[in-house]
Structure formats: structure tokens, C-alpha cells
Structure 1
């Protein structure tokens, strides 16, 4: 980092807490998709704290089986325990493990940051659930015979009740619940189906905003003609109205802007450089059931480039009321107003190819953010 590092250290001055660290990440040949997402996750404070707590409680596992969770925890621990405030860390062990785990990320081709984030969060959940089940099985096998008898066979639940799915600290940060409501226009019966999500993928339009994208996401759609809905009460296909709502908003709302669209005429994906305004404070009202939730933006993963198969990723993060720009090894402070330059282009063709791609919002009042 050299002169730039000392310049940043000087800029940080006394404005940041003593324990906070701002480290660039080395690029191992097109690994910017990974670096940009890791920076956003590192500055997701509740996630970082819980990951470091996991690391502290499982240091004995360091000699055990390596997985993406242990590699990520080790990386975050390395960064947070550095003596200096700034510098560069090589996430070599994590990247090697990622490539070993998923062949999609093995090549040196341009990868998708959203695909990586999705894979990583789901992989972390799988590991934590597996560890919890393993621990529960161990506890049951080592508990006294009297306790086993009291618990009954396989800890069975009364009246054939279903066992609640395990909720990990990754779920507690990122998981929300969507409800898909379909109302039969003949008998007015509403059929609702819930599904969980770790991020929302939104269709985008030119010169729009996150608020309007969310409204479109939750807008009512009429199912008719060939798209009629089979109503169980009417026992036949009927016209219906369908809408998607957020039933339970997550603590950390991750929004993925669908900037890459398949164009039939071209026979390939094209990047949409549309200008989509993402506010620093976001209110969820129209899209949420009986709630008015407010969120604060704390990280943006930016795609730089004109197409989906090439380009670069950088990230912007907010830390203690200041914005920083992370570009692999390079880290610099930026003005809050600079965030607007990543909204996109109001023209079809523009020299500006730096566009917000994944947005990270944390709910206000659910933890001291900054």
C-alpha cells in the first residue's frame, strides 16, 4: 500500500475507533468478485462479530477439517488482529478453499459477485446446521440413560408436530420471509405460500429508484387466459390476482440489481447501465406486511465494465459515519456524495461504467451501526 497506506492512515486520524481495521485484499487473478463481497461482509458489523465469536469458541477446530467457514473466520480474525490500522492481506487460504469447493470459481474467468455471495451464505448455513446436528447427536449419545428415556425416541415431538428448522446466526442476520399471495377472483379465497430469502433480486428500469423497483416487485399481477390459477376451493382454473410481499424483513437487507439481461435478438447477456437511485436511508412500507421498516445503507458492491463476461468489482463501505472505497489492495476515503456516482447512467451509452450491483442495508434501531 506504501504512500497510499500512510495517507489513508493519516486521513483516518482520530475519527475511527482504535480497534477498527481497513485492509485491502490481494487479487489472485480475477478474484475481485470475491474481494468486493468479503469487504462488504467484513463491514457488516453483527455478522463480523458473530463470525469472530465463532472463531474464538472453535479455535480447537483449527486443526480439524478445513471448510469455507473456518477459512472465512480465520481471514476476518487476521484482519481484526493486525497491529496497524491499514495494510494488505492475502486471502489465499480462503480463495484456495473456495476453488476446491466449487468448480464454478476455479477458472481465471470473470465471475459474478452475486453468485459468489449466494453460494457463500448458503455454504456457511449448511456447515453451521451440520455442526449443530452433530453436536446434538453427540449430546444425546453421551447423556445418561434416564435423560434419554425422558426425551423419548429421537427427541420426537408430541402430536406429530414438525421440528422447527435450525436458525443459525447467518439466518438471524440475512434471512427474511416472502409470502406469495394468490386470490381467486371467483371465490375470493387467498392462497399464501411462504419462502425464505437471503437477498432480493430486483428487475430494474431506466431512471428509476430502489423504492420503485420494490413497488414493482410487490405489484399485483392478474393471472388470466393461459395463466389461470387452479383454485382448490373451486376445483378448477380461475382468474386470480397474485402479489409478492415481504412477510418478515431481514436484519440485513441485501438487494441485487438485475443488471445482466439475456437479449434474445443478440443471443447473449447484456449489461443494463440504467440509472437506479439507491438512497442512504430506505423505508420499507408498501412491500412489507403491517410494518414500516427503515434501513441504512452500509455497503455497495460495484460492477465496473460494459458487459457481464468481463470487467471488475470494487466496493464502497460505510464505517463510523465515513465512506471508504475498496479496490482489491487499494483503500481510500471518499466523500459521501461520491456514492451517487454509482447510481448508473441516464443515457443508453455512457463512458461511466461503474454501477451499483449489490446493496447492503442494515435495519435502523436493531443494533448500533455507526
Structure 2
């Protein structure tokens, strides 16, 4: 596809600083596919994920049974972008979008879709495909090793012997963390802990707050009493208890979804919360995890533009090789790092600025080094 004026403008802006081997391509919009394009850009610039996907694709191409599925379509799209001769331009994700619509009827209509729902669907679908491939490989003596290697079947159990997944795929290795749900009986002091895995955290938000305070609230202690009493196995009865959720094993890529859409009973519909929520460029996980030394760095933000949940637009901000870029479907521009804070939200209830951070992608600095 022919490179537009925005492409050449971007090349001029970066000049000699244009990263070696990197490609900055906009994605064509098919009427209502900005929810998909914004998430795809965030995932493309999630470098560990991109590298594993391209490696998978190279291995897969050499296999005979390369049936088309969502994973092969995504790998094909990423491969298409990174193998472009030009440094900037526009590519069409038509085949991938068609596959999404084929796999999930939710995304078939021309209505406004939710980027977070799409991200959830996509990651879970990729995991399902990889798991099926590994299971098929185990039951087939032919080429089983190649297929098992392709899906990175480590047959591992997770931390402390938790068996949440039969094995850990490379999608899990990038995005999966473990939460511990702790309940302490206030009569006998027995703590019951239940582990669960997550690909992203959905956080309740408040006006004039920050990601740190949202995470603190997420892990705050809640008292279970009156009708909500907890059945304690040791006491063999319902008891008052304290409950809290904390991160037991943080993921390499921490994805956080800000719950900006809230059902308001008086209105009888969902309302968008334009609250100002500060998300820092560097984040430490305090209060939610035992090892608070873990540091994360922001590398992408999916932004919802618009005043309500049923209409609007999605764009994404991406950090690549210390430059910040703004992706709006076909258009790609360079932005200053200070511009990121204009997407925190509004301190006033009614504001002309409707561009608000919706999904945040942080990478662990320890896993990168």
C-alpha cells in the first residue's frame, strides 16, 4: 500500500534516529475496527510477544498442517508489517479482522465494540490454539517434537505447585500473573488462600486518583459480616472474616484495564467516567505484592475517545526505542513524552477533552534486563 504524507512526515521527524529494523505502520479501518487496531498496535510493540509470535510463525510455516486460525492470521499480519521495505506506511489487517468476525459473533456487527473485551478474547483464543496444538502433538508420533517446541510446551506447574494450566505457553509467559485471594477467619484466625491466574487486572477508578491508589484499593482488606459471613472449614460455621486480594506472581507484561464504563441505575444505561487517573511512566508495585522491588515501565496506552460507552473511537500511544508514537488507524505521528499526561482524564465532570486512558501496558524492567 502506498505510503501517505503522514508516513514521510514521521520519517522526517525521526530522521537519523529512526530505529534500525523497526517499522511504524498504520492499520486500515473497516468502518468500526479501531477497537481492534488500537489493541494490535499495543501488542505489536510488546516486543517479547512479537518476537515469540514471529518465531512461532517461522516454525509453523515449515509444517504441513498449517491451518488458518486467529493465531496464524495475527502472525501473518505482524510478519507483513516487520518485513515491509519501507519504514512507514499503512497495511490492511483485512484477513485478521475477517477471522475475528468468523470466530466471534460479538465482533460481527458494525456497532461500537469494547477494546478490553477484544483483548481478552484474543489472548484467550491464542492460548486455546496453542494448547490444542500441543495436545495434538502429544497424541501424534509424527512431528510431535516440532509442534511441542512451537507451542513452548514446558509442562511446568506454576509457582508453589499451582496447576492452573496444563502447561505454560509463550502467551502465558508474557502476560500471566497469579493472584491470591486470602480470607482470614476472625474467630480462629485461620487463613484460607486461593490462587487464580490473570492476563489483566480490571481496576475500579475514582476521581483525581492514580494507578497506585487504584492498585491499593484493589488489594484493600474487606470485612465479611452480616449476610456476607464466610463459611470457615475449621470452625464448621459461618464466621466474620477479612478478605483481601494480592498479586502473588506479577506478570512480565502487566496489563491494567480502567473501569471507565459504569452502569447508572437512574439513567438505566452505562455512563463513561471521565475521571482523572494518573498513570506514571515508571510504576512500582507496592502494597499489592510481597516483593515490592518490582518496577514496571509504561510502553503502551489504549485510549478511548468519546463521551459514552456505545460510541466513540480508540487510538493508541506506544513507546518504541525511547520515542512516543500516536497511532490513529491509518495515521501515525510522533508525540512528545509529556503529551501522555493529556490522556489521564478530566478533573471536571464535564470537559471537552474526551480522550482517556483505558488499557495500560507496562513491561517489567527486571524481565527486560
TM-score normalised by the chain length of structure 1: 0.92
Deviation at 1:61, TM superposition (A): 4.9
Q: 2:152 corresponds to which residue? A: none
Q: Is 1:254 matched with 2:255?
A: yes
SS of structure 1 residue aligned to 2:367: coil
My pick for the range that moved more, 56-65 or 294-303, is 56-65
Contact 2:230/2:240, CA 8 A, preserved across alignment = yes
Q: How do residues 225-264 of structure 1 correspond to structure 2 at under 5 angstroms? A: 225-264=226-265
Q: Distance in 2 between matches of 1:62 and 1:124?
A: 20
Deviation at 1:64, TM superposition (A): 3.3
Q: 1:204 corresponds to which residue? A: 205
Q: Residues 342, 214 of structure 1: CA spacing in aligned structure 2 closer, same or farther, 3 A cutoff?
A: same
Q: Distance in 2 between matches of 1:286 and 1:67?
A: 41
Q: Distance in 2 between matches of 1:164 and 1:105?
A: 27
Deviation at 1:16, TM superposition (A): 2.9
Q: How do residues 297-308 of structure 1 correspond to structure 2 at under 5 angstroms? A: 297-308=298-309
Q: Distance in 1 between matches of 2:64 and 2:197?
A: 32
Q: Distance in 2 between matches of 1:65 and 1:337?
A: 45
My pick for the range that moved more, 323-332 or 132-141, is 132-141
Specify which of 106, 109, 115 is matched with residue 108 of structure 2: 106
Contact 2:294/2:366, CA 8 A, preserved across alignment = no
Q: Distance in 1 between matches of 2:243 and 2:61?
A: 49
Render the CA deviation track for 1:42-95: whole Å, top value 9, x for unaligned. Answer: 000000000000011111358732100000000000000000100000000000
Q: 2:151 corresponds to which residue? A: none
Contact 1:62/1:70, CA 8 A, preserved across alignment = no
Q: 2:6 corresponds to which residue? A: 4
Specify which of 35, 41, 47 is matched with residue 39 of structure 1: 41
Q: How do residues 164-313 of structure 1 correspond to structure 2 at under 5 angstroms? A: 165-313=166-314
Q: 2:323 corresponds to which residue? A: 322
Contact 1:303/1:356, CA 8 A, preserved across alignment = yes
SS of structure 2 residue aligned to 1:273: coil
Q: 1:146 corresponds to which residue? A: none
How many residues are aligned here?
A: 352
Contact 2:60/2:66, CA 8 A, preserved across alignment = no
Render the CA deviation track for 1:150-171: whole Å, top value 9, x for unaligned. Answer: xxxxx9xxxxx98972100000
Q: Distance in 2 between matches of 1:163 and 1:219?
A: 25
Q: 1:346 corresponds to which residue? A: 347
SS of structure 2 residue aligned to 1:366: helix
Contact 2:164/2:197, CA 8 A, preserved across alignment = no
Q: Distance in 2 between matches of 1:180 and 1:95?
A: 37
TM-score normalised by the chain length of structure 2: 0.92
Render the CA deviation track for 1:181-220: whole Å, top value 9, x for unaligned. Answer: 0000000000000000000000000000000000000000
Q: Residues 341, 128 of structure 1: CA spacing in aligned structure 2 closer, same or farther, 3 A cutoff?
A: same
Q: Residues 142, 354 of structure 1: CA spacing in aligned structure 2 closer, same or farther, 3 A cutoff?
A: closer
Deviation at 1:105, TM superposition (A): 0.2
Structure 2 stretches lacking a partner, 5+ long: 146-154, 156-161
Contact 2:39/2:119, CA 8 A, preserved across alignment = yes
My pick for the range that moved more, 186-195 or 10-19, is 10-19
Q: Distance in 1 between matches of 2:144 and 2:301?
A: 47
Deviation at 1:10, TM superposition (A): 1.2
RMSD: 1.8
Contact 2:137/2:144, CA 8 A, preserved across alignment = no
Decide which structure has the larger Cα Rg and report it: 1
Structure 1 stretches lacking a partner, 5+ long: 144-154, 156-160
Q: Is 1:69 matched with 2:71?
A: yes
Q: 1:149 corresponds to which residue? A: none
Deviation at 1:17, TM superposition (A): 2.4
Q: Is 1:360 matched with 2:357?
A: no
Q: Distance in 2 between matches of 1:318 and 1:54?
A: 24
Specify which of 66, 77, 80 is matched with residue 78 of structure 1: 80
Deviation at 1:292, TM superposition (A): 2.3
SS of structure 1 residue aligned to 2:37: helix
SS of structure 1 residue aligned to 2:300: strand
Contact 2:303/2:314, CA 8 A, preserved across alignment = yes
